[in-house]
Amino acid sequence: MFGFILRRLVSTVPVLILISLVTFLLMHSAPGGPWDRDEENGKEIPAAIKKLLDQEFGLDQPLWRQYTGYVIGDYRNADGSFKCGAICGNLGPSSKQRGRYVQDILFSTNDEEATWLQSKFGFSVRLAIYALIFAVLLGIPLGVIASIKQNSVIDYVVTFCSNIGVAVPNLVMGVFLIIVFGVQLKLLPVVAKEWNTILPWVLPSLTYGLGTMARMASYTRSTMLDVMRQDYVRTARAKGAAEHIVIWKHMFRNTLIPVITILGPALAGLIVSGVTIEAMFGFPGMGFDFFRAISNRDYSMIMGTSLLFAALIVIANMSVDILYGLVDPRVRVE
């Protein structure tokens, strides 16, 4: 098991290197740099100051050195000593929010008492977790009920709703929810100012999780129907096991194995779709920050955030692989 986990960990390294390299090259092929316009007065920065800024941020170095300097580190401190790069968790200074480092922007807050949960990263993670909890806690039981009562009214309703839920993009679903609950019924805030109470979280998490929930429900249902016809279920019934034991111990447990496999893509999808959901609800997470950094040409911010996104996706896929290996021993051998 240890070897299996180690192999999966090592295989993520080339992926991360390539992602950071492509991001870096794309970013530098973009016309215009971070000093192109000053937002406050719209004036151009004088060439001499531009040169100083380039030196300060290391943009005067050749491209390869900028890249290695960002990822591994470079002798760039004022006294010529070594400054560690992204592998030490240093994501570089932000060129738009002067004086702050990317990791500070993402992981900490101005408030001294607040924990990391109040940071941009914490907000995004919490939203994704709420959405996933909602999707799993509602999607799987719905699928189980629908399969047990196959061809009943409940089954048809669940199947129809999950078909619609899979087909309708969560952006569209979010708009519907905003119009119904926010604009017409005025039950929930459209754009929240405070995120301390539970109400403003309801719509984003619902929107976020609905597609995943529908996919969970339909997948659980079809897997349950498959498992139901297996011989060991008939054996369990024949030996006189109570119906709820047959359902939960024999059928449901074996249903979980394939259901776990779609958890990985679901998690990765949640992380990426965060950008739009956060933009729609004005959510103070890192997805929205990523979007703003792109239009600001904030190089190290784009680099840092997309590396973080990529790492999260890779970790999500990997942890599901490992989970799968734990549940189903056959996987480990390969």
Partner 1 sequence: MAQIAKPLLQLTKAQIDAKLANSENQWQLAWRRLRRNKASLISMIILIVFLLISLVAPLIAPHNPLEQRTTNFQQTPPFWQAQSPAGKDYNPSFILGTDSLGRDVFSRIIYGSRTSFVLSLLPLAIVMLIGMLIGFTAGLLGGKVDNILMRITDIFYAFPDTLFIVLIFVTVGNTAIGRMANGVLLFALSIGILFWVGLARLTRGQALTLKGREFVEAARSLGASQWQLMWKHIFPNSLSIIIIWAAYAIPSFVLIEVTLGFLGIGLRPSLDPNEIFLTSWGRLLLDGRNDIQSQPGFLLGTVGTIALYVISLRFFADGLRDALDPRQKG
- In this complex, which beta carbon is closest to partner 1, that of residue 140 or of residue 214? 214
- In this complex, which beta carbon is closest to partner 1, that of residue 294 or of residue 326? 294
Residue 124 C-beta: closest distance to partner 1, Å: 14
- In this complex, which beta carbon is closest to partner 1, that of residue 45 or of residue 179? 179
Residue 105 C-beta: closest distance to partner 1, Å: 18
- In this complex, which beta carbon is closest to partner 1, that of residue 184 or of residue 197? 184
- In this complex, which beta carbon is closest to partner 1, that of residue 30 or of residue 157? 30
Cα–Cα distance for residue pair 13/29, rounded to 1 Å:
24
- In this complex, which beta carbon is closest to partner 1, that of residue 168 or of residue 260? 168
Residue 9 C-beta: closest distance to partner 1, Å: 14
Residue with tokens 């024949």: 238
Give me 264's structure tokens: 């990985």
Residue 33 C-beta: closest distance to partner 1, Å: 12
Give me 119's structure tokens: 């940071």
Q: Which residues bind partner 1 (CB under 8 A)?
A: 12, 14-15, 18-19, 22-23, 26-27, 29-31, 163-164, 166-169, 171-172, 175-176, 178-179, 183-184, 190, 218, 222, 268, 271-273, 275-276, 279-280, 290-291, 294-295, 302, 306, 309-310, 313-314, 317
- Beta pairing partners, 73: 84
For residue 220, count other CB atoms closer than 10 A to its CB.
28
Residue 39 C-beta: closest distance to partner 1, Å: 17
Cα–Cα distance for residue pair 40/26, rounded to 1 Å:
27
| CB-based contact 8:318 (threshold 8 Å) | yes
Residue 82 C-beta: closest distance to partner 1, Å: 30
- In this complex, which beta carbon is closest to partner 1, that of residue 25 or of residue 88? 25
Residue 118 C-beta: closest distance to partner 1, Å: 25
Residue 79 C-beta: closest distance to partner 1, Å: 35
- In this complex, which beta carbon is closest to partner 1, that of residue 225 or of residue 241? 225
